Amino acid sequence: KCLIPYFKSVCNKNFINGNVEYYRLYKNPDYFPKYDEFHNKVSDINTFENEKLEDVTFQHTLEVDFANKKIGGGVIGNGCVQEEIRFITHPETIVSRLFMEQFADNEAA
């Protein structure tokens, strides 16, 4: 019910000025870190305490979905947790449900 008005609004404002890219990522289980033996620092992390995720606008940002075996979880059905909320607030991500098959345990998108 809310998706068609969203896309009409976006298209009428010439808002489309970027790309949405989709990647399916695979990690060979043989190379999974053995976290119980891992004592090194993983990496630096930037945190933004006073900003919402949707307000952080860096040129090269990345969002990863790995919460559910089906991309978007229950966004088209009755789901209403973090993954579904993320997809419904960014409806352009819902198109990924057309071409992303169910994830294996070592995959993400």
**Marked catalytic residue, from 36, 65, 92, 105:** 65
Q: Is 83 a catalytic residue?
A: yes
**Cα 1 from Cα 105, distance rounded (Å):** 33
Q: Is 65 a catalytic residue?
A: yes
Q: Is 30 a catalytic residue?
A: no
**Marked catalytic residue, from 36, 54, 84, 105:** 84
The H-or-E segment that residue 108 falls in is: strand 107-108
At 58, the amino acid letter reads F
Answer for the pair 62, 20: CB distance below 8 angstroms, yes or no. Answer: no
**Marked catalytic residue, from 83, 92, 101, 107:** 83
Q: What is the dihedral of CA 16, 19, 24, 26, to 10 degrees?
A: -140
Catalytic positions, please?
65, 83-84
